[in-house]
């Protein structure tokens, strides 16, 4: 699903309004919002809407009009607001549905005790800084201590960039109308989004064609499930996916173990690990089903030959975790990545070694998976501030033509055609070795035939879910092995309602 800039949303909105009518769209938005109210309401208090003068305010009226759950409903709005036809329709319907209307301004005391507050102050046309009137409404919402369901965006966040105002709503959940707004997925606004839902209300990506390209995309559960390869009944262990893991060293054998586990639990049929002799004992102690082949890293030419010989029976390569930064491992990495025609996922030490030869891999079937520090180095442009991640990864991929997965709280995956924002994950993943598990899982998806960008976005999505599953089981102290173990459960996707899609849970 497309995650849109404000300009893209305006284009999509205008086309949908021309097709279906503005009033029908707002009624559909109200019905979708109303479906979430009981899920987030707590206690016996009223449901309280805070409505700005625009269509976002109209959504608050429309939701309260559509809500049939039996709770008391109050809306704070300006009775004299000019507003659109759709907002008038919603306000009129709210009145006949028995919603009490009270004039703005609203004070925090009035909102205390609300079972749920609907933030309809500003939507996709919000600009920062907020005007005094919107800021006062936000301050009252924030001071109330009530749970907030944000309509379209949390007011005080910038819908495209994810910047936040001094006054900002912190929602338990946000319901995107039409399409999710890019800003709600980006730090720092993401902290204010809570869980993110999307009600597509019949809007179409195609209506934003050519606006702010290349587009941003966010996977939804159904699209993730559709990307996961299905093992055919007649498969054998090689055709089930046979990744070759080139990883580990005397110092870091664990990285190779975790990468192999990530590959195995992602569903590979045959995992081969090629590692320097110094890592062999530790690998064999921890890997039973996987085949371990060793090479002498002091003889890089022979090592490259050993590894390339193995590739004849493999279908993708993961290279880098725990390899180390020696000149010998540099020669091995460049020899293998330069000498193979298989798809490759390169991580960790391999990124360091490939940094000087990026030109050779333009448009190759290659995924690189740097964290922020590795990205600073490989991009040659220094440290990445949180708010420049999107622009920096875009610039890098436009320049190099290499599919890049930039890890972090919100992992970004960029190809020439699009930038993907990974909606899953948890800070439980902030522990050593989880990146190695991700690399292994991506290797398996490549080995099973996914295109590099699909392997990267499905891998990141899956890995993020696995982190949440592992946390749910362990409560604390999740280690990287737990994340690999959770991949199976994390692959299960419950049937989805296409009218109300949950993009991520709060974390």
Ligand X SMILES: Nc1ncnc2c1ncn2[C@@H]1O[C@H](COP(=O)(O)OP(=O)(O)O)[C@@H](O)[C@H]1O
Interface residues toward ligand X, by CB under 6 A: 348, 371, 407-409, 411, 425-427, 429-430, 432-436, 438, 463
Q: Tokens in use for 82?
A: 């000019």
Binders of ligand NPW among 295-354, rule CB under 6 A? none
| Residue 432 partner contact from K ion, ligand NPW, ligand X, none using kind-dependent CB cut-offs of 5 to 8 Å | ligand X
Q: Which does 26 bind (CB under 5 to 8 A by kind): ligand X, K ion, ligand NPW, none?
A: ligand NPW
- 291 contacts 272 by C-beta, under 8 angstroms: yes
| CB-nearer residue toward K ion: 151 or 275 | 151
Exposure string of 209-240, with b = 16+ CB inside 10 Å and e = fewer, is eeeeeebbbbbbbbbbbebbbeeeeeeeeebb
Upstream peptide bond of 445 is cis (omega within 30 degrees of 0): no
Decide which of ligand NPW, ligand X, K ion, none touches 126; Cβ closer than 5 to 8 Å per partner kind. Answer: ligand NPW
Contacts of 383 (CB under 8 A, 6+ apart): 372, 376
Cα–Cα distance measured from residue 416 to residue 421, given in angstroms and rounded to the nearest whole number: 14
Binding mask 386-425 for ligand NPW (x = CB under 6 A): ----------------------------------------
Report how far residue 55's alpha carbon sits from residue 77's, in angstroms, rounded to the nearest whole number.
12
Q: Does 207 bind ligand NPW (CB under 6 A)?
A: no
Q: How far is CA 432 from the centre of its chain?
A: 21
For residue 408, the partner it binds in ligand X, K ion, ligand NPW, none, with Cβ less than 5 to 8 A by kind, is ligand X
Paired tokens of 372: 């922020």
Q: Which partner, ligand X, K ion, ligand NPW, none, binds residue 363 by CB below 5 to 8 Å per kind?
A: none
> Dihedrals φ, ψ of 139, to 5°?
-60, -40
Q: Going by C-beta distance under 8 Å and a sequence separation of 6 or more, which residues neighbour residue 349? A: 320, 321, 322, 323, 324, 325, 329, 333
Annotated binding site for (6S)-NADPHX: 255, 322, 371, 436
Which residues make up each annotated binding site for AMP? 407-411, 435
Tell whether residue 15 is a contact of ligand NPW (CB under 6 A): no
Q: Please identify, using beta-carbon distances, which residue of 82 and 233 lies nearer to ligand NPW.
A: 82
- Give the residue, chosen from 13, 119, 297, 482, that forms a contact with K ion under the rule CB under 5 A: 119
Q: Kindly state the DSSP code that residue 215 receives in the 8-state scheme.
A: P
Decide if residue 56 touches ligand NPW (CB under 6 A): yes
Q: Quick one: how many helices (H) and strands (E) in the chain? A: 20, 19
119 binds, among K ion, ligand X, ligand NPW, none (CB under 5 to 8 A by kind): K ion
Find the part of the chain contacting ligand NPW (CB under 6 A) among 51-59, 294-302, 438-446, 453-461.
51-59
State yes or no: residue 290 binds K ion (CB under 5 A). no
Site string for ligand NPW, 101-140 (x = CB under 6 A): ---------------------xxxxxx--xx---------
Question: Which of ligand NPW, K ion, ligand X, none sits in contact with 186, Cβ below 5 to 8 A by type?
Answer: none
Distances (CA, A) of 151 to 57, 76, 78, 93, 109: 9, 15, 18, 18, 22
DSSP result, 328-340: HHHHHHHHHHHH-
Which partner from the list ligand NPW, ligand X, K ion, none does 52 bind, CB cut-off 5 to 8 Å by kind? Answer: ligand NPW
Looking at beta carbons only, is 155 or 240 nearer to K ion? 155
User: Measured from the CB atom, is 151 or 280 closer to K ion?
Assistant: 151
Q: How many CB atoms lie within 10 A of CB 10?
A: 15
Binder of K ion out of 50, 60, 151, 283 (CB under 5 A): 151
Q: From ligand X, K ion, ligand NPW, none, which one binds at residue 433 (CB under 5 to 8 Å depending on kind)?
A: ligand X
Nearest to 275 by CA among 262, 287, 263, 289: 287
Tell me whether residue 222 or residue 479 sits nearer to ligand X (CB atom). Answer: 479
Residue choice 1, 5, 22, 347 for contact with ligand NPW (CB under 6 A): 22
Give every CB contact of residue 373 below 8 A, 6+ residues apart in sequence: none
Confirm or reject binding of residue 155 to K ion (CB under 5 A). yes
Instruction: Give residues with Cβ within 8 angstroms of 197, minimum separation 6.
Output: 36, 173, 174, 175, 176, 500, 501, 502, 503
Task: List, as residue ranges, the binding site.
Answer: 255, 322, 371, 407-411, 435-436
Distances (CA, A) of 112 to 75, 193, 216, 330, 374: 14, 21, 38, 62, 47
Residues binding ligand NPW (CB under 6 A)? 13, 17, 22, 25-26, 29, 52, 54-56, 59, 122-127, 130-131, 151-152, 177-178
Q: What is the contact surface with K ion in residues (CB under 5 A)?
A: 119, 150-151, 155
């Amino acid at each position: 699903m497309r995650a849109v800039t404000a300009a893209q949303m305006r284009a999509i909105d205008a086309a949908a309004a021309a097709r279906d009518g503005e009033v029908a769209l707002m009624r559909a938005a109200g019905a979708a919002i109303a479906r979430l109210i009981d899920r987030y309401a707590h206690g016996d208090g009223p449901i309280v809407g805070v409505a700005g003068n625009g269509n976002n305010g109209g959504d608050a009226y429309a939701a309260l009009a559509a809500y049939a759950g039996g709770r008391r409903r109050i809306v704070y709005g300006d009775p004299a607001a000019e507003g659109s036809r759709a907002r008038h329709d919603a306000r009129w319907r709210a009145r006949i549905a028995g919603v009490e209307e009270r004039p703005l301004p609203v004070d925090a005391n009035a909102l205390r005790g609300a079972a749920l507050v609907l933030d309809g102050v500003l939507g996709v046309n919000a600009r920062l800084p907020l005007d005094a009137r919107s800021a006062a409404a936000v301050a009252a919402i924030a001071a109330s201590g009530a749970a907030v369901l944000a309509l379209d965006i949390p007011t005080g966040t910038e819908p495209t960039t994810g910047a936040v105002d001094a006054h900002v709503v912190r929602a338990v959940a946000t319901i995107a109308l039409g399409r999710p707004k890019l800003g709600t997925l980006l730090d720092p606004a993401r902290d204010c989004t809570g869980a993110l839902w999307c009600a597509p209300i019949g809007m179409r990506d195609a209506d934003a064609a050519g606006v702010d390209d290349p587009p941003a995309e966010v996977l939804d559960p159904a699209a993730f499930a559709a990307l996961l390869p299905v093992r055919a009944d007649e498969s054998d262990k090689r055709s089930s996916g046979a990744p070759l893991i080139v990883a580990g060293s005397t110092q870091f054998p664990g990285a190779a173990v975790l990468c192999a586990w990530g590959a195995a639990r992602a569903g590979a049929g045959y995992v081969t690990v090629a590692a320097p002799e110094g890592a062999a004992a530790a690998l064999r102690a921890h890997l039973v089903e996987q085949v371990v082949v060793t090479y002498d890293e002091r003889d890089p030419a022979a090592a490259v030959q050993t590894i390339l010989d193995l590739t004849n029976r493999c279908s993708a390569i993961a290279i880098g975790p725990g390899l180390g930064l020696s000149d010998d491992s540099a020669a091995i990495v460049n020899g293998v990545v330069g000498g193979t025609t298989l798809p490759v996922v390169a991580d960790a030490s391999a990124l360091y070694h490939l940094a000087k030869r990026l030109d050779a891999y333009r448009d190759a079937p290659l995924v690189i998976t740097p964290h922020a520090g590795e990205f600073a180095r490989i991009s040659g442009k220094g440290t990445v501030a949180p708010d420049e991640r999107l622009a920096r990864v875009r610039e890098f991929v436009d320049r190099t033509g290499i599919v890049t997965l930039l890890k972090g709280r919100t992992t970004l995956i960029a190809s020439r055609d699009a930038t993907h924002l990974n909606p899953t994950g948890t800070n439980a993943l902030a522990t050593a070795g989880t990146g190695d598990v991700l690399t292994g899982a991506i290797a398996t998806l490549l080995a099973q035939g996914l295109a590099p960008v699909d392997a990267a976005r499905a891998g990141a999505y899956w890995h993020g879910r696995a982190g949440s599953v592992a946390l749910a089981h362990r409560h604390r102290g999740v280690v990287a092995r737990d994340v690999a173990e959770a991949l199976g459960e994390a692959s299960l996707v419950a049937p989805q309602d296409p009218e109300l899609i949950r993009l991520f849970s709060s974390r």
